[in-house]
Structure 1
């Protein structure tokens, strides 16, 4: 995108962006599908809403878009209360999973559609369409119909249509889920580039894919059962989760029940040296260790067990080892000889690579800066 195009787009938007949910609840009859959501997306930030189906993440996005009406609470875009405004007056762009392109219209006409709906002066429309198509790398396809494009190209057109209205806020609802793995990886890179080119646009990105959230987001809001459970940077949620739900949903984790003692914790009859952060001796806790941080062979915090299953995953072997009645996962690189099932092996992990999740930590929403309660595809390395 040229400096002139970027400057025109940035100069045409308002000076305020960002999104704020103020105790927003949405219900369908007696069923609450979003429960008292408090969350702030800062101006220029990419916030991923990550969670399983039915967690409330898409409902939150639709509340910002104006497609659902909260039963309580308010929605703000910048300093404007938009709760009662129709979608076309909210200054948003939106991209959905299935692109929603008009098959009978050429690419340029699809991109122009939102501009016409907003009654942009006719003389401005061709230039705005050209800007958006250049931004998304689709300028050479302006005269084609959607059926003449690949899935990735169609998604770029959908993004161009959203950006053509020069939104302060961009809403992305599972935008890559219909693409194959290679196209998805390429589109993630394109979205990251667009964010760098338009750093003032706030992006709310709904996904159930952990890799997308970890790759693209400045912060991740973890949703489950209509509530916000955790919020923080991808690094914080992955490396130092505070709840079992976050540990299991953001990446992949070994979650082992242990008993706190004076020197660390005990797993069965094995003593392990880990930071207990003041947890009471004798109390129960859960030890979280990522599989790629578990090594094969002697080392600190050694665990002896028997091979229950081996999976080859290209660059790694995933070992499942029965240890003290629990199955421990280890992702081991460059395993030249696969150990037979039932073979006795030793696993180990460094004390600093484990996180102790205590029963006293409750799930709850994070603060807007990710400093409160911190805190698909499987993440196997960090």
Structure 2
């Protein structure tokens, strides 16, 4: 392929401790792929292996058709934005953006035009003469992105680029990153985050990492609607994970028979039933569960109910209620059979 990223069984270890274990993963040309996972999952190590900041002990890293495993970072032609932006405080905005171009010995005649283009693309043209200390956090982030884009990379690496921003700025920058992706359709973007909202919003595909290994990979819709394991279900969106036993007509949960698609699972097998909270209703309906309200949270347009059902906490996100139930009230929940997903791989409950 002419662009993109490919991990070919890439393993990274420090002092014998494996922090990335035999990663096989491809980022297509022009694709945004989010590496999503908790701290220590291996996602940032994978990004650093692409950048050339860590050396795999096994496997190869490819950019397009080039094997870059042994190349130093400056020869990879990659744009990168890190958490704290790493702007040079003594340089003006335009000088920061020009830095990578000067390091690559681009002719002076070409630097000015590329800097202007990158600043215009990120909405920072008017701030070219300012110093980083004169900018807000969101503006500094835009400058860091402009600097990465100025070298016209085929690959852009984003390492938790929004983590230092407050919620409102983060939402706005997500929209800006989505716009940039539309304007740069040939640039492959590897986006590291622990924030599921960022991944669901921006990514074409999400690779879910945990304990140094890739656990699942697919489109946001696939991972949200049909997760393949408990970890993915719980990390990509909120999920009720109910320990069940497969029965002839569906599953059994705490002595209650629930109808759902079992996809050929053996009767008597233990499994986990995944139901998203917004698909759980309050009151009568199919697949009824009776329990006691343990907690209720008002979230503006919705109420989040936490209901104790046979010793398990079940979450239900229901439209705002005029007279919500109180702590200790008995309630009935329900969900449609087609809204549940049976997980049989990696079941760990007793």
Task: Tell me the TM-score normalized by structure 1.
Answer: 0.90
Report the counterpart of residue 192 of structure 1 in structure 2: 178
Whether the 8 Å CA contact 1:284–1:359 is kept in 2: the answer is no
What is the distance in 2 between the residues matched to 1:132 and 1:180? Answer: 24
What is the distance in 2 between the residues matched to 1:337 and 1:361? Answer: 38
Matched, 1:166 2:141: no
Report the counterpart of residue 128 of structure 1 in structure 2: 114
What is the distance in 2 between the residues matched to 1:111 and 1:242? Answer: 42
What is the distance in 2 between the residues matched to 1:243 and 1:46? Answer: 23
Report the counterpart of residue 132 of structure 2 in structure 1: 146
What is the distance in 2 between the residues matched to 1:220 and 1:359? Answer: 19
Whether the 8 Å CA contact 2:21–2:213 is kept in 1: the answer is yes
SS of the aligned residue for 1:340 comes to coil
SS of the aligned residue for 1:52 comes to coil
Report the counterpart of residue 93 of structure 1 in structure 2: 79
Q: Given the alignment, which residue of 56, 62, 75 partners 2:61?
A: 75
What is the distance in 2 between the residues matched to 1:210 and 1:349? Answer: 24
Report the counterpart of residue 221 of structure 2 in structure 1: 235
**Structure 1 moving runs of 4+ over 2 Å:** 359-362
Report the counterpart of residue 50 of structure 2 in structure 1: 64
The 5 A counterparts of 1:1-382 are 16-359=2-345
What is the distance in 1 between the residues matched to 2:201 and 2:44? Answer: 20
What is the distance in 2 between the residues matched to 1:91 and 1:114? Answer: 10
Whether the 8 Å CA contact 2:230–2:347 is kept in 1: the answer is no
The alpha-carbon deviation at position 341 of structure 1 amounts to 1.4
RMSD of Structure 2 on Structure 1 (CA): 1.2
What is the distance in 1 between the residues matched to 2:33 and 2:326? Answer: 44
What is the distance in 2 between the residues matched to 1:212 and 1:250? Answer: 11
What is the distance in 2 between the residues matched to 1:315 and 1:145? Answer: 42
What is the distance in 1 between the residues matched to 2:78 and 2:122? Answer: 18
Whether the 8 Å CA contact 1:50–1:220 is kept in 2: the answer is yes
Whether the 8 Å CA contact 2:230–2:346 is kept in 1: the answer is no
Task: Tell me the TM-score normalized by structure 2.
Answer: 0.98
What is the distance in 1 between the residues matched to 2:339 and 2:54? Answer: 43
Whether the 8 Å CA contact 2:6–2:63 is kept in 1: the answer is yes
SS of the aligned residue for 1:17 comes to coil
What is the distance in 2 between the residues matched to 1:263 and 1:234? Answer: 30
Q: Deviations over 1:11-31 (max 9, x none)?
A: xxxx92100000101111111
Name the CA shift for 1:353/1:175 in 2 (closer, same or farther; >3 Å): same
SS of the aligned residue for 2:105 comes to coil
What is the distance in 2 between the residues matched to 1:348 and 1:186? Answer: 36
Gaps of 5+ in 1: 1-14, 363-382
Q: How many residues are paired up?
A: 348
Report the counterpart of residue 369 of structure 1 in structure 2: none
Whether the 8 Å CA contact 2:156–2:187 is kept in 1: the answer is yes
SS of the aligned residue for 1:33 comes to strand
Gaps of 5+ in 2: none
The alpha-carbon deviation at position 361 of structure 1 amounts to 8.0
Q: Deviations over 1:265-293 (max 9, x none)?
A: 11112111100000111111100000011
